Amino acid sequence: MKLVALFTAAGINIAVCAVLLSLYSILRKQPGNVNVYFGRRLASKRSRRTNLCLERFVPSPSWILKAWHTTEDELLSVGGLDAVVFVRIVVFSLRVFSVAAIVCTFLVLPVNYYGQDRKHVDISFEPLEVFSIENVKEGSRWLWTHCLALYIITIAACTLSYFEFKAITNLRLVHIIGSPPNPSHFAILVRGIPWAPEVSYHETVRNFFTNYHESTYLSHQMIYKAGTVQKLKECAAAFVFFKTRFAALVASRILQTSNPMMWVTDQAPEPHDICWSNLCIPYRQLWIRKIAILVASIVFMIVFLLPVTFVQGLTQLDHLQESLPFLKGILKKEYMSQIVTGYLPSVILILFLYTVPPTMMLFAAIEGSISRSGRKKSACYKVLFFLIWNVFFVNVFTGSVISQLSVFNRITNLPAQLAKEVPAQATFFITYVLSSGWASLATELIQIFPLIWISFQRYILRCKDDSLTGPQSFPYHTEIPRILLFVFLGFTCSILAPLITPFLLVYFFLGYLVYKNQLVNVYVTKYDSGGGFWPIAHSTTVFALIFTQIVALGVFGMKRATVASGFTIPLLILTILFHEYCRQRFLPIFKNNSAQILIDLDRRDERAGKMEEIYDQLHTAYCQFTPSTTPESDLSPSTHGQDLEESNRGSEILEEGKPQPKR
């Protein structure tokens, strides 16, 4: 692939982005599209009359300035801590690759370009391999520049990642301390409740916790199966409320009985974050579901080898002409060959990749996550692994499906294979950043699918009310894996093919503006994980650095650069030690709440006399049904006051007359 083909792909993507951005500036001013482009603002104002509201958003370029000047506090107030962390991931990537672009452009790129004793033609007609480490001859004394660049990039990434981890950890702690009393801090989810023929689940839960947690147990609320009829049959699950946050924390972490499959406790999700349909899944089924989803994910990844192999066939023009002789006449035209090899493969791959996030979200839901944020986080992991595997590894090991599967038979030669194949495929990754990165941001901004859906409702179905098109929550499971994939590609190709870094810089800068605009105007925050997505970004960054160092070690070995190889090994060890330190220092705060903070919050609320008010809010916060359809046993008896016991005796009597659930 020649540099002019890369310019062709870049020109096409710039044109597409310019058209979509111009179209967005027009569509966002139309009153009929206010539900698409200002859904969050409408939801917060609870008004559908938006003609006056739109006056603030003209002229069209003002959205860029508004996004640029949106502060972190404003973003926190409208999008929650997850929105702040997401934007911080983008800013972190922008900072890291600013350093990488400067170092690689001025230090590595000239060494690559003049790495061979050859006569250079017009630079626009140079093959892209000339700008990669492939062009550096074996035994070159200039390979130390690549090792130096690797050190600078690694140190910059680790330093910035450490301070981001520290800052986001502090934000999470401030979020816990400064927020209003959170009902989930007083509640635990109990599953695997044993069934007894003589008593209901309701009685069983009350007897167990009044017996073993007498001093701290407050009350409980049974969980019912979903459905009009099924909601009168109880599940073997309940929310149990405690008098203090610390008591709930202890109860959620300890083993309740000698049988780990019974009386299983977890910290309760926030009320708006609960997946009610998954709470009634028998606890004994969960491990079976996880194994089944793992197998299904592997099968899906194997099936996806077919489109990836087809895409790679398009990048190999000689093989394509041999397989399809009738294309020889078409591909002789220079502009057609540039489009086929430089633009079409990545576009086709992107179209196939649109099926991945909804599929992985379905898999995450079937796994049985008890919270929507947990389900989205699980889908985020799955999409990220899928993208890294299929976009990077499968594309690196090109060829037929059979030859790609045979890679596993030569696992011992993997470093050498990576050292040989990654530089050769770097040009495809550059075009992928152009087509998947730049164009995806323009597509996200214009909201194509919601726009098509609301137009279908209005002009085909003739619906005058757009209430069916409600504001959506931000698709973290789609956007975070996409950003982290580009981070992975950027680190891997930084010293091998430095031309990728300027395109990544443009992507992250444009993404900073687009995502802030969308979080402020479009998406509604329905629940918050408290910044739980940052550990995913940190782990992916460290994995990308370690993988880059391993590939560089293999490349230095092939190029017979002994000094560069020797200096890369300690860098690899130090990066692993850095990750382990961060994992020990910061990660536990994202998994558990500290006893110190919870006890201080309990004492603060006790001194302020807020405990009784908090107790009264627990049942309404975790109400599964509307008050008119809530079964009587939802108002479970409590041990903390005689008055509440008297008020609940009627529900106990009704409970005794209920039909008992079957095994």
What DSSP assignment string belongs to 387-399?
Answer: HIIIIIIHHHS-S
Please determine, for residue 332, whether its predicted confidence score (pLDDT) is greater than 70.
no
Nearest Cα to Cα of residue 21 among 439, 571, 332: 439
The Cα–Cα gap between 11 and 288 comes to 50
pLDDT reported for residue 634 = 41
Mapped onto helix, strand or coil, the DSSP state of residue 266 is: strand
Which residues lie closer than 8 Å to 265 by C-beta, 6 or more apart?
188, 189, 190, 240, 251, 252, 253, 254, 256
- Stretch 338-347: mean pLDDT, rounded? 64
Please determine, for residue 377, whether its predicted confidence score (pLDDT) is greater than 50.
yes
Distance of CA 232 to the CA centre of its chain: 37
DSSP code string of 30-96: SGGGHHHHSHHHHHHHT----TTGGGGG-STTHHHHHHHH--HHHHHHHHHHHHHHHHHHHHHHHHH
Burial 90-107 (b: 16+ CB within 10 A, else e): bbbbbebbbbbbebbeeb
Q: Which of 309-318, 455-464, 550-559 has the lowest mean pLDDT?
A: 309-318
- Stretch 341-358: mean pLDDT, rounded? 78
- Stretch 548-569: mean pLDDT, rounded? 90
Please determine, for residue 49, whether its predicted confidence score (pLDDT) is greater than 60.
no
The Cα–Cα gap between 492 and 553 comes to 12
Q: Which of 403-407, 439-443, 536-540, 626-630 has the lowest mean pLDDT?
A: 403-407
Higher pLDDT, 482 or 43: 482
Q: Which of 198-207, 326-335, 477-486 has the lowest mean pLDDT?
A: 326-335
Instruction: Report whether 522 contacts 115 (CB < 8 A).
Output: no
- Band of residue 44 on the pLDDT scale cut at 50, 70, 90: low
Q: What percent of the chain has pLDDT over 70?
A: 79
Higher pLDDT, 640 or 195: 195
pLDDT reported for residue 156 = 96
Q: Is 225 exposed, middle or buried (0-12, 13-18, 19+ CB in 10 A)?
A: middle
- Stretch 163-175: mean pLDDT, rounded? 95
Higher pLDDT, 38 or 46: 38
Q: Which of 24-33, 117-126, 517-526, 561-570 has the lowest mean pLDDT?
A: 117-126
Mapped onto helix, strand or coil, the DSSP state of residue 234 is: strand
- Band of residue 96 on the pLDDT scale cut at 50, 70, 90: very high
- Band of residue 336 on the pLDDT scale cut at 50, 70, 90: low
pLDDT reported for residue 460 = 82
pLDDT in tens, 294-303: 999 999 988 8
What secondary structure, in 3-state letters, does 135-192 show?
HCCCCCCCCHHHHHHHHHHHHHHHHHHHHHHHHHHHHHHHHHHHCCCCHHHHEEEEEC
Selection from 316-320, 323-327, 547-551, 642-646 with the highest mean pLDDT: 547-551
DSSP code at position 108: I
Please determine, for residue 81, whether its predicted confidence score (pLDDT) is greater than 90.
yes
Nearest Cα to Cα of residue 464 among 474, 453, 454: 454
The Cα–Cα gap between 184 and 249 comes to 10
Tell me the CA end-to-end span of the chain in Å, nearest whole number: 65
pLDDT reported for residue 655 = 35
Mapped onto helix, strand or coil, the DSSP state of residue 264 is: strand
Please determine, for residue 161, whether its predicted confidence score (pLDDT) is greater than 70.
yes
Amino acid symbol at 505: L
Please determine, for residue 574, whether its predicted confidence score (pLDDT) is greater than 70.
yes
The Cα–Cα gap between 591 and 161 comes to 19
Tokens 């927020």 identify what position? 179
- Stretch 48-65: mean pLDDT, rounded? 58
Structural domain boundaries of the chain? 3-181+373-593, 184-269+617-625
Higher pLDDT, 90 or 467: 90
pLDDT reported for residue 641 = 37
Q: Hey, what long-range contacts does 602-611 have (CB within 8 A, 24 or more apart)? A: 602/244, 602/245, 602/246, 605/181, 610/181, 611/243
Q: Which of 283-292, 364-373, 416-425 has the lowest mean pLDDT?
A: 416-425
Burial 602-640 (b: 16+ CB within 10 A, else e): beebeeeeebeebbeebbebbebeeeeebbebbbbbbbb
pLDDT in tens, 426-483: 777 888 888 788 888 988 888 888 888 887 877 787 776 655 556 788 999 999 999 9
- Band of residue 653 on the pLDDT scale cut at 50, 70, 90: very low
Tell me if the domain spanning 184-269+617-625 has CATH number 3.30.420.40: no
pLDDT reported for residue 549 = 94
pLDDT reported for residue 559 = 86
Q: Which two tokens stand for residue 303?
A: 């099936």
Q: Which of 39-53, 475-489, 618-632, 647-661 has the lowest mean pLDDT?
A: 647-661
Q: H helices within 495-561, ranges in order?
A: 500-521, 534-558
- Stretch 43-49: mean pLDDT, rounded? 55
pLDDT in tens, 393-423: 887 876 433 344 444 445 556 666 777 777 7
Q: Does residue 197 have a cis peptide bond before it, meaning omega lies within 30 degrees of 0?
A: no
Please determine, for residue 55, whether its predicted confidence score (pLDDT) is greater than 80.
no
Please determine, for residue 227, whether its predicted confidence score (pLDDT) is greater than 80.
no
- Stretch 629-634: mean pLDDT, rounded? 44
- Band of residue 485 on the pLDDT scale cut at 50, 70, 90: very high
